Structure 1
Amino acid sequence: MTGGPSFNIIVAEKAKAVRLDAYVATQIPGVTRTQAQRLILAGQIRVDGAMRRPAYRIKNGDHITGVTPILPQPSLLPEPRDLDVVYEDETLIVLNKPQGLVVHPAPGHPTGTLVNALLFRYPEIQKVGDPARPGIVHRLDKDTSGLLLVARTSDAYQHLVRQFKSRQVVKCYLAVVCGAIESDEGSVSLPIGRHPRDRKRMSTVSPKGRAAQTEWRIRERFSAATLLEIALKTGRTHQIRVHCAMLGHPVAGDALYGKRRKRAKRIPLKADVLHAVKRQMLHSWRLRVIHPTALEPIQFEAPIPKDMQELIGSLRESMLQDKNTRDRKG
């Protein structure tokens, strides 16, 4: 790492008592906690002008200064891989991303990503957008499946980015969540930002939370779960997963947010159904944008993936068995 722009951070009241290394990792984009520890130990990050240990607990009003490291960009290599292309023309590509595929290289995933495969098939995107993730206009989590938009030209990239920023893009997801939800529809408006203590998680209590709005309606009810149709009005990291967990109905199979189910209003889970889910049951189902050159709306839909279909089928079967059992007892 080499030195870049300097930074100055004044610790807010609600961030106090957090470890210095953990706090820095949440405040400086691209810096991991391990990297923050090294910078602190080297004296490149200081508190009120003094060196501190990485485990130092920050206090309200602490003045943290340092230099933002310039991290070397990994070289992006084209790699052959089958892609499920829903639509393509000279300006954009719409893909149906499978679950388990990382969108772009990052620490821990230097190769084998969607970007590597895109560069092999569409080498022209190399100079489009962010050099670290060329062509990528928006992202999906590794274990989220469904529609993803990629720009093939710089003009298309800028046009699509503006649409996302102005919230013109219509994004609709399907999610199987734990528990039986009583209302037919609803919305969540809670800010989302990096968790103050766990940088891998997002949270609605982050000191730097940004406005986030999620609307949902029930598509199908089961005994121990609910299939939701979810519309995103904003596009924060892990937004659906965080908001569903806050409702007490985490996305089925979500290993990061699914352990906190204190308020889940549900019939006890079927161990052989929901407990066997291996990834979060979240699918980017429908997407509508304005075409960058035709300037007309275009809409796409990705079929529900096999593992999600199988879960829904098992939940229906389980619900039918429960009904038959009640009928026999009645």
Structure 2
Amino acid sequence: MDIEINVEDDVNERIDVYLADELDNFSRSYIQKLIKKNKIKVNNELIKSKYIISEGDKIYIELPEEKKLELIPENININIIYEDDDVAIVYKPRDMVVHPAPGNYNSTLVNALLYHLDTLSNINGNIRPGIVHRIDKDTTGLLMIAKTNLAHLSLAEQLKKHTINRRYIALVEGNIKEDKGIINAPIGRNPKDRKKMCVTEENSKHAVTHFKVIERFKGYTLIEAKLETGRTHQIRVHMKYIKHPVVGDKVYGIKKQKFNLEGQLLHAKTIGFIHPRSGEYLEFKSELPKDFSNLLRIIRNK
């Protein structure tokens, strides 16, 4: 499979940096190897990794034939909330990547799933078996896993139609005055830092987040956020956009964090969907991780 990219933004950065940010699951070192093997051209000419791309450049990437990777099942302790012949619901802890990527094939949720589950769908390729949707490395909570291709197609279609009930709990900076609200703002790559997402009208996708206030504290608000769409970092970006970033967010949060947290206080608490085979609506909930609940207890006591 070959890839063609037309550069529409004046990003003014090295091609290896740009492509590593632009392409999912491609590390910068992997991009550099492709360049050394003359597999990447810009405007039909070979280049080096230090080439600075600019608006109007046409990038052509010749990918080598995909080798079937034998991912290693790993006996990593994970909490399987529910399992039947078609689907599983698992709890992803903080600091765990959902699926392998080039250069990082171990200690992911997929490695654990391969050990604990007897079958997984293969629609998303051999490095993402069973994975229908993702949450960020430092976000905790529930994920749907497809054990069969039938289940995968059904769950993916429900995601596409925005009928999956996905609710998150987040602690955000400041006090939100409204009891509830809707953030309707498109999300795309940040033109100034392509490792980040932002609210932008350029090269963006429609994004909607519903939120309601659960509890207010001095300087903080506990909210429930419901996803209507599922863009990369959506809740984190939207909360920053309305000037209430998620506490502990090292990418989109405030610079001077008051608490020694390992990641953002964002938790995928509820997931609800129509079962692919029975047609029954199933819904699952999970408890907050200890660091989240402990911090809530501290600020409540204050």
- Report the TM-score when normalising by structure 1: 0.82
Q: Give the alignment partner of residue 22 of structure 1, picking from 17, 21, 33.
A: 17
Partner of 2:6: 10
- Higher mean alpha-carbon deviation, 305-314 vs 121-130, is at 121-130
Q: Which range moves more in the overlay, 19-28 or 305-314?
A: 19-28
Q: CA deviation at 1:285?
A: 0.9
Larger radius of gyration: 1
The CA distance in 1 between the partners of 2:182 and 2:20, in whole Å, is: 31
Over 3 Å counting, the alpha-carbon distance change for 1:106 and 1:184 in structure 2 is same
Aligned length: 302
Residue 275 of structure 1: aligned partner = 259
Is residue 72 of structure 2 the alignment partner of residue 88 of structure 1? no
1:289 maps to: 273
Within-5 A mapping of 1:228-239: 228-239=223-234
Give 1 or 2: higher helix fraction. 1
Q: Deviations over 1:131-172 (max 9, x none)?
A: 212111111212211111111211111111111111110100
Query: SS where residue 125 of structure 2 aligns?
Result: coil
- Structure 1 residues 294-319: Cα deviation after superposition (integer angstroms, max 9, x where no partner): 1121111111222111111111112x
Runs (5+) with no aligned partner, structure 1: 261-268, 319-330
Instruction: Describe the shift of the 1:31–1:120 C-alpha distance in structure 2 as closer, same or farther (beyond 3 A).
Output: closer
Matched, 1:98 2:96: no
- Once residues 64 and 204 of structure 2 are traced to their aligned partners in structure 1, the CA distance between those partners, rounded to angstroms, is 24
How do residues 109-148 of structure 1 correspond to structure 2 at under 5 angstroms?
A: 109-125=104-120, 127=122, 129-148=124-143
Quick check: 1:48 aligned with 2:43? yes
RMSD: 2.5
- Is the alpha carbon distance of 1:213 and 1:316 closer, same or farther for their aligned partners in structure 2, counting shifts above 3 Å? same
Whole-Å separation in 1 of the counterparts to 2:175 and 2:82: 36
What one-letter code is carried by the residue in structure 2 that aligns with 1:114? L
One-letter amino acid of the counterpart of residue 226, structure 2? A
What aligned pairs does 1:147-296 form with structure 2 within 5 A after superposition?
Answer: 147-196=142-191, 198-205=193-200, 207-259=202-254, 274-296=258-280
Cα distance in structure 2, aligned partners of 1:81 and 1:37: 32
Larger deviation, residues 156-165 vs 65-74: 65-74
Unmatched segments (≥5 aa) in structure 2: none
Name whichever structure is richer in strand by fraction.
Answer: 2
Q: Distance in 2 between matches of 1:184 and 1:32?
A: 42
- Deviation larger for 34-43 or 234-243: 34-43
- Give me the whole-angstrom Cα distance separating, in 1, the residues matched to 2:283 and 2:263: 27
Alpha-carbon distance in structure 2 between the residues aligned to 1:95 and 1:66: 36
Separation in 2 of the partners of 1:108 and 1:45? 19
